[in-house]
Chains A and B, each alone.
Chain A
């Protein structure tokens, strides 16, 4: 395992080294809230960041595994394509934004707009999520073991939302849906991959009522 201490190295040096590698493990010390740590990785690397990370940590990730032993600021794993990002602490807003694939695990809470415009990523939040989570979510699963804030799933497309706790309110066009066996199976698998100790039967499923896909005059008040 290679150790990079950001007390002595720059973020550019860290990312350059990660971008030129095809395999290996890195241990990143003293992140001190720096932005853009381990972004744009494009190989099956293993990166462990010890401390709190700033904006866009592990953004655009492909194939790599990024572990953050601390909190992350805005936009962790934004636009991730594949791979795995695991935050041991809390995440700020827009976690997993617009991401196409991979698995994002947040052991703590995620604040507002978690999974905004998600396009295929799976997100498991072991705590609670803030308001407007999964806004305009198109594909992928958002699993929340705690509670969800206001306007969950507003203007949702086909992302699937599973919440174990209370939902403060559902956003426009988001409705509770029946939990069928295929959903329980998919949820159990995500919980297993995330190491989350929770019973799939305790969750409720939410999805789009598909009334806003095309403009209809009858729905004008919802837009």
Chain B
């Protein structure tokens, strides 16, 4: 099963309410997967030369201040951070790949959830309601977000195995389904320098998209190529710095419904998840066609 939801705001006036709009959508999908939940929320834009990094450590008492100090020493630059439950959001002056290397060296047990200019990822084991409360999602602002609640079928119920997965700058993916050729694909992508943190199939799909984008593909083209290269069942929701995209595999066993009004584009595994949105009664509702890429972005 698994449940996925996405919300892309067209009306900037709704941006302070993004978390409040997203939370009931995610919560309503609990029945599709209560094992773990997570979300990626896109907000603001970090200043030039500053990277926004979502980090996680299982220990609630983890010494983030010490990590920030060590990082400042190593990069010889400014580090700002805020802690939210098991996660911390860091703003670090520097270049993404160099910071990633340093973090792996000085804090190997800290998981890097995402890096970019706008993305923030939060995910943990537990029901959507627990995860929403843990991170205070309802109070968060942003321009767009995707979220996932998981019924684990393919790898362990852990924080790392939860969605969304991010393997590229400001790029993340949530997935309902399962991929059958992820092992070979992971090996091929590792040869091209993509680094994976788990044995999860969805992480391979995220890595695949990151790799295509590194090769100069547009998101649209990368997703179209994935129809050829990914074997399995999937509905994907993909988040990027400026927008989000939805794709179902050609067989389309995994559900999805889209809704659009003047204020937003929303997607969910089921219509139930959309009923809390304002103006949904008058939204244009449709089921995405199999093997067709749907893509929205802020210009």
Contacts and interface: CB of A to CB of B under 8 A. Distances in A.
B272 A33 contact: yes
A111 B272 contact: no
Chain A interface mostly helix, strand, loop or mixed?
loop
B290 A54 contact: no
Contact of A112 (B257, B286, B290): B290
Interface residues of B, number: 12
Contact of B285 (A34, A71, A112): A71
Contacts of B271: 33, 52, 54, 71, 73
B94 interface: no
A131 interface: yes
A92 B285 contact: no
B31 to A, nearest CB: 9
Contact of A90 (B274, B275, B287): B287
B272 A34 contact: yes
Task: Choose among B271, B274, B275, B285 the residue with the greatest number of A CB atoms under 10 Å from its CB.
Answer: B271
Interface in A30-48: 32-35
B272 A112 contact: no
Q: How large is the interface on A (under 10, 10 to 19, 20 to 34, 35 or more residues)?
A: 10 to 19
A22 to B, nearest CB: 31
B270 interface: yes
Interface in B241-299: 252, 255, 257, 270-272, 274-275, 285-287, 290
A65 interface: no
B24 to A, nearest CB: 12
B58 to A, nearest CB: 36
Given A54-B270, A112-B252, A33 B290 contact: no
Given A90-B287, A92-B287, A54 B252 contact: no
A130 B275 CA distance: 25
A93 interface: yes
A218 B234 CA distance: 35
Contacts of A54: 270-272
Interface of B: 252, 255, 257, 270-272, 274-275, 285-287, 290
The 8 A-B residue pairs whose C-beta atoms are closest, nearest first, are: A33-B272, A33-B271, A32-B275, A111-B287, A52-B271, A112-B252, A33-B275, A92-B287
13 contacts: A32-B272, A33-B272, A35-B272, A55-B270, A71-B271, A73-B271, A74-B255, A93-B255, A111-B287, A112-B252, A130-B252, A130-B290, A131-B252
Interface of A: 32-35, 52, 54-55, 71, 73-74, 90, 92-93, 111-112, 130-131
